[in-house]
Structure formats: structure tokens, C-alpha cells
Structure 1
Amino acid sequence: MYKLSFIAVALLMLISCGDKSKSTEDFSKSTSSEEGTAAEATDPSSYDPNRGLGKFTTVDLGDKLDVAMAKQGEAIQGVKCAACHKLTEEKLVGPGWKGVTSRHKPEWIMNFITNPDPMIDKDPKLQAQLELCLMRMPNQSLSDDDARHVLEYMRQNDGVK
């Protein structure tokens, strides 16, 4: 009985390990956009407190709220953000979202959503917030479109019509 169990476990281990040398992807190399972000993050003179660190230099919000986009942002917020952020001014794990769009420019918000680590390392206000919250915002790996939808939901939460 024990021999049969041992053989079954050994066979499963052999199958699950497989030949990893057949993989063609090289994860040790960064893409050009990641290299640009890394270079930007290490250059202290590149930090703009109005824009933050990242690829977003301008964000066109339009004249009024995009309700469909805000609805998509609400769904993303429910999955990725709600565990740490309340929609009020009250702190949960991270700060509340109420008023965030009046405190920060859209470019800063988009850059922070998509690139939090380098911004936390450079922005004195984010560093002070980190001391209050005691938890770094994790990179949620949102796409640019997802981040834009979340920004629109933030605008809706702040009363933009």
C-alpha cells in the first residue's frame, strides 16, 4: 500500500515539475515602458508634485461626467479599492476618497493609480500619508482604461455631474 502511494506521489511530482527549459519567455528583461518608469523613478529632479511620476502628462476629463465610464469605475472600485478606501473622508486602511479630485490633478491621480511605488518614494505628501496609514498602496495592475474609469468614479463621488 505504501509503495503504491509513494509511486503515485513521485509520479505526480515528476509530471507537475515538467521541463521548464521549454519556456520561451524571458521575464528578466523589462519592456521599454518599464525602463522609462524606472529611470524616471530614480531621477529626483523628474518628480512633479502636480503630475506625479508616470506616463500621464495630460488627462482630458471633458466638460461633464461620463456616466458609463463612472459605472465601470464603480465596478473596479468594488473589486480593487473598496477593501482599503471608503468613499467618505473616513480612513479605512487607506485614506477616504471624498474630495480627492479637488486635492489632486487628474494626471497625478492617474499616475498614482498606475504607478504607486515610485510616487510614494518621491512625494512628501504621500510619505506623510504613509506614516498615518502605515500601509503602502499596492500596485493593483490596472490598465490605463481601468484607471481612467476609476478616476471618473472618483469625480462622480465628488459630485461632478
Structure 2
Amino acid sequence: MKLKLFCIAFCAIAVALYSCGNSERKSSPNAASETASTEPAATPTPVPSGDAKGVGKFTNVQLTHPLDEKMIVAGQQTYDVKCASCHKMTDEKLVGPGWKGVTDRRTPEWIMNFITNTDEMLNKDAEAQAMLEICMVRMPNQNLKDEDARAILEFMRKNDGKN
């Protein structure tokens, strides 16, 4: 009986760990030969810290003044569903870093690129890689639309006392 429970627990842990892997893995006809290669995988080159916009399509995010209340509500709804389990609105680290002051530390473009382009940011952006070393947990790609990410940014701005 104990062995059966151990096997079930082991399988559940294995499935959980596998599901946390890269969801963008593509299947190809020569996938077996790709995994059998003895050459080391190419290490992504980090983007220098001076690139405050990060890696992704957002190069110029227009902010609203005053804050857009509809976006704040939508951002909080998305936060409650997809972000709150790992991020607190304070500066306290949960699984990921707390969000208090994030709009003071990061540009709007960097935040939007990180939310919508998580995997590439973690692979190539030096600041994102530094956060990963501290948190030790890779943020999963939430597959958010651009407008969802923009609403989260507005919610973050309100949390940071922006007007």
C-alpha cells in the first residue's frame, strides 16, 4: 500500500514538474535527433542593463494622465486571477517580487515587454535574469493580450500612487 502511494505521489510530482516546463516547445520531425545532439545549447546573450525597455515589441508606451479607471479595474481583475498567487501589492516577495514601486524601478515599456514576452525577457534581458536569480522561480507565460498587460500596468501605477 505504501509503495502504491509512493508511486502515485512520484507520478503526480513528475507531471507537475513537466507542466512547469517551456510551453512553447515545438515538435518537429527530427526532434529525436535534436535532443540526441552532444553539442551544448547556445546560451542567450543578455541584453545590457542600460536597455531600459527590455526585449519585445513595446518601444513607446503612452501613459494616461489622469489614470484610466476602467483600465485599473480590468488590471485588478487580471491581477486577482493570474498574478496574485505569486505577487503581492507590497514590496514583500511571495513567489515573485512584490509590485510596490515597480513603476519607479522599471520603464512602462520594460514592464509591458516582461508581461507579454516573458520567456524571451528571462532568456535575454539582464535585469530579468537578475530577478530570476533572486526569485529562483521562472515566471510562467500568462499569454496575456497587449490590452490586458496595459491594464495591469495601469493597476501597478495606481498601486504606486501615480496620478
| TM-score normalised according to structure 1 size | 0.70
Equivalent residues of 1:47, 1:122 under 8 A apart: no
- 1:63, distance to aligned residue in structure 2 (A): 2.1
Matches within 5 A, 1:59-138: 59-138=61-140
Q: What per-residue deviation string (whole Å, max 9, x for no partner) do you get for residues 15-63 of structure 1?
A: xxxxxxxxxxxx879xxxxxxxxxxxx6767996211111111100022
Matching residue's letter, 2:106? H
Identity %: 57
Q: Report what 2:159 is aligned to.
A: 157
Q: Which has the larger radius of gyration?
A: 1
The equivalent residue for 1:33 is: none
Residues 133-152 of structure 1 deviation map (CA, whole Å, 9 limit, x = unaligned): 11011100000000000000
Change (3 A) 1:67 1:118: same
State the match for 1:146 in structure 2: 148
Residues 133, 45 of structure 1: alpha-carbon distance in 2 compared, 3 angstrom cutoff: closer
Structure 2: gaps spanning 5 or more residues: 1-25, 29-43
Q: Deviations over 1:95-150 (max 9, x none)?
A: 00000001011011000000011111122222222122110111000000000000
Q: CA RMSD in A?
A: 2.2
TM-score where L is the length of structure 2: 0.69
